[in-house]
Structure 1
Amino acid sequence: MRLFYFPLLLVLFLGCTNLETKRSTLLDFVPEQAEIIIKTSNIEALKGSIHNSDFLQNISKTKTYNALQQKIENLSFLNPEGDVLICLSKQKNDSIDFAIITRFTKNLLKTDSLPDYKEESVTIKNTPITKLMVKDQMFYSAVIDSVFFVSTSKETVLNNFSSTKRDLDFIKVYHATGENSTCSVILKPNQQFLESVFIEDSLNLNTFTKYMAFDAELSQDQIYFNGITQANDSTHIINIFRNTVPQENQIQHITPSNSDGFVSFTFDNFKTLEQNLATFNSKDSITTATALFNDITEVGVIYEDNNQAIVLNSTDVIATQDALLAEQNKIDTYREIDFFEFDNSNLFSETFAPLINFNAINMYCQIDHFFVFTNRKDLLQNIIANFQNKTTLAETQHFKTAKAKLSDAASFLQVVNTSTLQNILNKNIDEKQHISLKGYNASAIQFIYDHSFAHVNGVIGKNKSRALVNSVTEQLNIKLDTDVLNTPQFVKNHITMQKEIVVQDVNNQLYLISNEGKILWKKKLRGPVLGNIEQIDMYKNGRLQLAFATPNRIYVLDRNGKDVSPFPLKFNDAITQPLSVFDYDKKKKYRLLVTQGKHVLMYDVKGKVVKGFTFKSADNTILSQPQHFRIGSKDYIAFKTKNNLYILNRVGKTRVKPKQSHTYSDQPIFLYNNTFTTTDSNGDIIAVDTKGNVSKRSLNLSDNHSLTTTSKTLVTQSENKLTIKNKTTDLDFGGYSTPKIFYINDKIYVTTTDLQAHKVYLFDSQSKIIANFPVYGNSIIDLDNIDRDINLEFVTKGESNSIILYQIN
């Protein structure tokens, strides 16, 4: 059974000289029969990206996916560190054998939570291997030279105890893959998984090239890949372009926007291409006796339903017209462009096979420097009308989006719309299965010949409708492995200076997600994150780390989700407030404050207790996260218990002692109008100045109230009443989150979320709701400009296991 296996397999898991190799790398353990190798350095991130890829999830609806998914998901007990190779091969009975290769580490196998797991050491053919049974699925594994190898085939495992010869070309293309992509994929010769990626039936992947290796980036609405393909002999189609120089592809400028797609191939010298074609087609001599192609640098085919038009892009229009002097019998005119008869219907198929097979041409016309040949007047008319109306494919936003990922000049370029992409999928899937690809209006692949190999780029992208001004549009809806635990927030990427998303699920997996929806990594934590995650530059080199607390750990993670030594710090007693990070003088000499019940401990970034901080203990359990404020040249550290407000100096000594005591709420402490401001248990505003004077103001807040401020703006939420700067808005009755203030581009925004009605509200500083709000959401939001455009974005919890990124246009 032929299958469109590469996308399926991604959904699931996610010259030629022989060279004797030493078994020192994972590559040395790749089974000889493997046809596809998928490499990743972060298997959890790969699985997450696959899970959130709209295209791959559509492909996953096939029966083949469901059958193979069960096998691979049963290997979820593997916890690899470093690179992982997933190797796939086709068996004689049409079944799939897969193997996974990675370095053996102490914590590689995590089987404690698997109820149906069985393990047995056996000896087969005098070779010790391990049989693993997971949910009635049998696997075979072995550790060979510190490399862990597991497969569905015991023969594959047994054969791997013997060193094998490696194809030098295979090694070269493997090492051409990168390290920072979602995954890398290597396709070996004569693989049976992916038959075709082309419109033309005469083109298939195994005859087009020998080896192909590329890095793939997966986001929610786009798959982008780039790499190389290599073939050293004339039996592969890619070598038709040997000794030619790619030219700029221009067929898109004459292709109607309502077409099904086009193919374009370019060259700098037709005679060279002609000779290469003759060699490929095993012709003894060149039979083309026409000057028509002498001044042509690009040939293209436009597809519309079952019809085709062949386009020649001429660098010398007069010379091309002269070559067509014998074809000047005018048969019609449309919009002042003449149609002429063309008698040599087989010319293009005979000259350019297998790239062109259309042989029913009987007319042509000239449009600017393009000469268009077909057998249908209505197709010519459509091409002319769209060219004159400037409604060609090149003018569409979906083509421009795809083109941004491609090179301007390519030896071979194919661009297809939704229906043609569907047809290409059908070539690779025998089973009848409806796959919805709505919105995939411009998917492309190109090959750029370069000496003995070619660069390959491709994009499969889903296009969104252009957002209306003042609208709020959903950009991403990202699914996690399980339910969302806490509020998603933005953090800065110090490399791009843009923002990314960090969030945790109920299994305590922490995710870092790009602003394009790519899951960059996942990390299992020992408990839920308390409060917000802070960012620090502990090495003072511009590289940011994530710092936060869980109930018994203080974590500092680097850009890749790795622990930064000496963290995590482990605590026997529970941490009861979020981690507070202070940078008193903005010199990156950070202080980390850890709250445990009534105690506050201060650490430096070396994980050492700061001995100069002398605060011992509060009178009772601390109710608020310690805050740092600066007024004038003095620093203040503030937190509170039920009956006391503590305002300390840097070393933990009392700097301000309030002259009155109150029974305080659990609301945070803010610096508002240069006073330490919070609320008491009755909902009254309590403000303490730097001399300890206390003022009290009643706002008639309920027991269940919330407070937040900036230095000049005070916001309260009491039941369904939201008050911003003394202006109160009556919202629908519901269950509201704590309001939050954002100050962006000299403008204040205030947000609150009705958690019962699933509505996110956004107001300006005058208590006026922002246009097109409320929108759907299930948590407090984080609001910022996270990319290079001028629009603001915000992130919130969506369904139980998803987060939503919106854009305010």
Structure 2
Amino acid sequence: MKHSWYSFLIILLIFSCESAPEKNTMEDFIYADSDFVLTINNLDNFKSNTGNNNFIESLSKTEHYKTFTETLNFLNQIKSQQPFYINLFKDQKDSLTYSFVTKLTDSVFTLDSLKITREPYQLKGLAVEKVNIDKQIIYVSKQGDLLIGSNNTSHLEDLFNGNTKNASVKKIIQTQDKDASFSVYLNNGSLKHIFKNTTIPFKTLTNNLTFDTEVSQNELVLTGITKATDSSSLINVFKNTLPQDNQLAQITPSNSDGFLSITFNEFSVFKDNLDRFNTVDTITKNTTLFDNIIEFGELYTDTTSVVVLNTIDVIATKEALLSEQEKIEDFRGVNLYKFSKPDLFKEQLKPFITLDKATKYCIINQFIIFASNTDALENVIINYQNQTTLNDRPYYKDISAGLSSQSSILQVLNPTNLEQLVTSNLNTKQDLDFSKYKSSAFQFIYDGDFAHFNAIIKQSKNTVAENSITEIFNIKLDNDVLNTPQFVKNYRTKQQNIIVQDVTNKLYLITNDGKILWKKQLHGPVLGRIEQIDMYKNGRLQYAFATPNRVYVLDRNGNDVKPFPMKFSDQITQPLSVFDYDKRKKYRLFVTQGKNVLLYDGRGKKVKGFNFKSAKEDFNSQPQHIRIGRKDYLVFKTEHKLYILDRRGKTRVTPKTNLNYSNQPVFDYNSDFITTTKEGKLATITTKGAVSVMDKNLTDNNSLVSTTKTLVSQSNNLLNIKDHTLELDFGTYTPAQLFLIDNKIYISTTDKQTQKVLLYDSNGVLQDNFPVYGTSAIDLKNIDKDSNLEFVTKGENNSILVYKIN
């Protein structure tokens, strides 16, 4: 039995529903007492990007995560381009309750499960439908153009009829970025801890937190704000202070578990705020030790911690320590002293500092370092002098590049402490492998009456040897890969993105760090390569291509550019050819239908004055544009005839000998036209029409690719590169490809049988560390800011791989 969400919506539309008239926006159905509010801007991309993220994949092993995903399993049955709000909280029975709201307009919903029942359900005048999807029951209703649902009838009724008092929550959520992968709102009771220091529970820190999330395969970047309404929240101890540069990484050993850094411009203001928070008499135990500091913090190890003060006047701070000058030893030229106030920092700087046995200290430049034993101090000295602090580590530099250099609170954690933080919040004993996350950071930047929040959880790049090949990422599509992935230019970043299609004809655009930007459902498979054009001559590139019955032009967001797509009743039989004769962005789009060619300009209008009507038989390759000298040649080819025309479609060259041509393209080689015959011979045609044929021992299953000076031919396991003939292992090879990058030529082919990608130079020399794993032809370019080349290929049936050649 087939079920569709569309029929369900029809049922909803015929119901009459009386609801509070003021609740007519999606934000009106945000539940203020939710533990979490999840904002999904694009549900399809959300599923793909979270499914491809390694950190989230690690969490999927936990029971908490499994419960969460099972509860929201109904999302797998919904396909919508509209934003979603999902409220999540624990009810009085400690069961996970949720509700959601989205717009009906322009939404497409499908219920694919065969195990589904539907029935009307009445709630105090509210028209509801009870839907059972694979034994999961949800209750749904509508308000205007909104669809609202929940797994709890009481909660659903409250959303419609109750006073949710969510004005403040709505205001915060309205700050979320509509272009983010997804956004999260957290109430102060939703997390246990956000710091390693468990004496700072999340509910003590602030009232709420919202952040936008950018997701790629190896990285999570969180950006948002938090606001607390009263002095009982710890974040407000930074009121009337200015954040400073966080410098503790300069003194933190790379073998530490991380650090917590606290900054301010005036300690006295900060201390007054902190004392009010701690309800401490500001007169008690005043000390001049802190007068000139702009930063303090704690460095963590697996057995103890170290307290660091960062002073702007080291002489004055030393004077405050005149009574603490009993020397213990000299270690590598640094004096170690006794300290007589072991509980000073925990008492004066709680809850930020936990060390209560600060019995020793030393001074390194502007840093005053306190610890409970000399081993901890010596470890700091060794790493500082050996330049092996966190600040010297590339993985820390990598994450700090994405953070603000000045913050009120900065916490940096190593893999072990990141795992402890996650397992504590998820209440699990599951072992999570975060070993690749060498350094993760969380920061708050106080600004007026709120604070900015940033966090980076990122896999560290492995140190790679010169000439090695490393896999950058492996992205899974929703379905099996249909065609060869290719690189396309990102006109904004001047780098490269990846475009690929799956077997359901869904087109994906993916960034060069593995984030799926959008998906576009097409009416058929893409023919050949996707071209890029600048339709409006403003530097913004569009994607142009053909499927069997349409010609598409898409903008950078995957939206159709009018008047495209152009629909054709007769089948398009060759890839779309796009020519820009004079490099003036005056595009010509050639559409091939059997033996006919239709010509359009870049705006989709038919071009007048093109006089070529049709061939006598179907074209066996796509139209080509070749420029030799100052003349343009349009080349069309059938099995028995080669048409070499001018721009208006008139014959410019007539071959003097008829041949049986293969389906291989025609190339400009040494200022002649070259292709192959069905018999596997090389056919050369001069601009005067003279024809010569050369036997290169190719079979009828041959391929050809060429630049003006380098010719590459291939048949079976023989690969000819200029004058070099390479006898490859027997296998099933993709047609050889030729890449000209920075005046160097590369030739690639892939053995689909053994799943090996091969890459040669123009002299037939196999490049270092090849072959590598891959199951399709490749695309090769420099896709990012460094000087190394990358290539993309198909991996498993539903995945694509990107490699870097170091």
Aligned amino acid, residue 450 of structure 1 = D
Are the aligned partners of 2:612 and 2:649 in contact in 1 as well (CA < 8 Å)? yes
CA distance in 2, matches of 1:49, 1:449: 31
Residue number in structure 1 paired with 2:12 = none
Q: Structure 1: which 4+ aligned runs deviate by more than 6 Å? A: none
Are the aligned partners of 2:329 and 2:337 in contact in 1 as well (CA < 8 Å)? yes
Moved more, 657-666 or 115-124: 115-124
Are the aligned partners of 1:513 and 1:521 in contact in 2 as well (CA < 8 Å)? yes
Cα deviations by residue, 1:145-183 (Å, 9 ceiling, x for unpaired): 211222222333333323745444423322222232222
Alignment match of 2:330 (pick from 330, 333, 347): 333
Residue number in structure 2 paired with 1:495 = 492
Residue number in structure 2 paired with 1:390 = 387
In structure 2, do the counterparts of structure 1 residues 72 and 551 end up closer, same or farther at CA, with 3 Å as the change threshold?
farther
Residue number in structure 1 paired with 2:158 = 159
CA distance in 2, matches of 1:675, 1:166: 77
Alignment of 1:608-687 (within 5 A): 608-687=605-684
CA distance in 2, matches of 1:416, 1:258: 11
Residue number in structure 2 paired with 1:412 = 409
Are the aligned partners of 1:32 and 1:164 in contact in 2 as well (CA < 8 Å)? no
Residue number in structure 1 paired with 2:181 = 182
Alignment of 1:273-352 (within 5 A): 273-352=270-349
Q: Report the 3-state secondary structure (helix = DSSP H, G, I; strand = E; otherwise coil) of the residue aligned with 1:350.
A: helix
Alignment match of 2:468 (pick from 463, 468, 471): 471
Q: Report the 3-state secondary structure (helix = DSSP H, G, I; strand = E; otherwise coil) of the residue aligned with 2:649.
A: coil
Shift of the alpha carbon at 1:671?
2.0
Alignment of 1:717-756 (within 5 A): 717-756=714-753
Aligned amino acid, residue 471 of structure 2 = E
Moved more, 795-804 or 602-611: 602-611
Cα deviations by residue, 1:108-161 (Å, 9 ceiling, x for unpaired): 2223x4433433333222211222222221122222121122222233333332
CA distance in 1, matches of 2:322, 2:127: 78
In structure 2, do the counterparts of structure 1 residues 164 and 589 end up closer, same or farther at CA, with 3 Å as the change threshold?
farther
CA distance in 2, matches of 1:67, 1:387: 46
Confirm or deny that 1:145 pairs with 2:147. no
Are the aligned partners of 2:445 and 2:453 in contact in 1 as well (CA < 8 Å)? yes
Confirm or deny that 1:603 pairs with 2:600. yes
Aligned amino acid, residue 159 of structure 2 = N
Confirm or deny that 1:761 pairs with 2:758. yes
Residue identity (%): 47
Q: Report the 3-state secondary structure (helix = DSSP H, G, I; strand = E; otherwise coil) of the residue aligned with 2:399.
A: helix
CA distance in 1, matches of 2:103, 2:347: 53
Are the aligned partners of 1:278 and 1:286 in contact in 2 as well (CA < 8 Å)? no
Cα deviations by residue, 1:396-451 (Å, 9 ceiling, x for unpaired): 01110011011111111100100111111121122321211111111000111111
Shift of the alpha carbon at 1:302?
0.7
Q: Report the 3-state secondary structure (helix = DSSP H, G, I; strand = E; otherwise coil) of the residue aligned with 1:184.
A: strand
Moved more, 434-443 or 317-326: 317-326
Q: Report the 3-state secondary structure (helix = DSSP H, G, I; strand = E; otherwise coil) of the residue aligned with 1:75.
A: helix
Aligned amino acid, residue 197 of structure 1 = I
Listed as ranges, the gaps of 5+ residues in structure 2 are: 1-19
Are the aligned partners of 2:757 and 2:770 in contact in 1 as well (CA < 8 Å)? yes
Shift of the alpha carbon at 1:382?
0.8
Alignment match of 1:214 (pick from 208, 211, 216): 211
Residue number in structure 1 paired with 2:434 = 437
CA distance in 2, matches of 1:436, 1:446: 23
Moved more, 531-540 or 590-599: 590-599
Q: Report the 3-state secondary structure (helix = DSSP H, G, I; strand = E; otherwise coil) of the residue aligned with 1:161.
A: helix
Confirm or deny that 1:230 pairs with 2:227. yes
TM-score by length of 2: 0.95
Cα deviations by residue, 1:618-639 (Å, 9 ceiling, x for unpaired): 2222210111122334332212
Confirm or deny that 1:519 pairs with 2:519. no
Cα deviations by residue, 1:90-109 (Å, 9 ceiling, x for unpaired): 22222222233222124422
In structure 2, do the counterparts of structure 1 residues 99 and 707 end up closer, same or farther at CA, with 3 Å as the change threshold?
same
Are the aligned partners of 1:246 and 1:267 in contact in 2 as well (CA < 8 Å)? yes
Residue number in structure 2 paired with 1:795 = 792
Moved more, 453-462 or 565-574: 565-574
Shift of the alpha carbon at 1:725?
1.0
CA distance in 2, matches of 1:766, 1:372: 61
Are the aligned partners of 2:32 and 2:169 in contact in 1 as well (CA < 8 Å)? no
Shift of the alpha carbon at 1:514?
0.4
Listed as ranges, the gaps of 5+ residues in structure 1 are: 1-19
Q: Report the 3-state secondary structure (helix = DSSP H, G, I; strand = E; otherwise coil) of the residue aligned with 1:74.
A: helix
Residue number in structure 1 paired with 2:5 = none
Alignment match of 2:199 (pick from 176, 198, 202): 202
Residue number in structure 2 paired with 1:14 = none
CA distance in 1, matches of 2:267, 2:379: 29
CA distance in 2, matches of 1:611, 1:160: 61
CA distance in 1, matches of 2:93, 2:562: 52
Cα deviations by residue, 1:351-388 (Å, 9 ceiling, x for unpaired): 11111122122211122221111112211111111111
Q: Report the 3-state secondary structure (helix = DSSP H, G, I; strand = E; otherwise coil) of the residue aligned with 1:76.
A: helix
Shift of the alpha carbon at 1:336?
2.5
In structure 2, do the counterparts of structure 1 residues 213 and 589 end up closer, same or farther at CA, with 3 Å as the change threshold?
same
Cα deviations by residue, 1:63-106 (Å, 9 ceiling, x for unpaired): 23223323433333322224222322222222222233222124
CA distance in 2, matches of 1:611, 1:110: 45
Alignment match of 1:775 (pick from 772, 779, 787): 772
Are the aligned partners of 1:21 and 1:165 in contact in 2 as well (CA < 8 Å)? no
Residue number in structure 2 paired with 1:264 = 261
Shift of the alpha carbon at 1:659?
1.7
Aligned amino acid, residue 762 of structure 1 = L
In structure 2, do the counterparts of structure 1 residues 288 and 270 end up closer, same or farther at CA, with 3 Å as the change threshold?
farther
CA distance in 1, matches of 2:159, 2:633: 65
- Give the alignment's Cα RMSD to 1 decimal: 1.8
In structure 2, do the counterparts of structure 1 residues 299 and 104 end up closer, same or farther at CA, with 3 Å as the change threshold?
same
Are the aligned partners of 1:209 and 1:236 in contact in 2 as well (CA < 8 Å)? yes
Alignment of 1:493-572 (within 5 A): 493-572=490-569
CA distance in 2, matches of 1:237, 1:437: 29
Are the aligned partners of 2:28 and 2:166 in contact in 1 as well (CA < 8 Å)? no
Count of aligned pairs between the two proteins: 787
Moved more, 42-51 or 487-496: 42-51
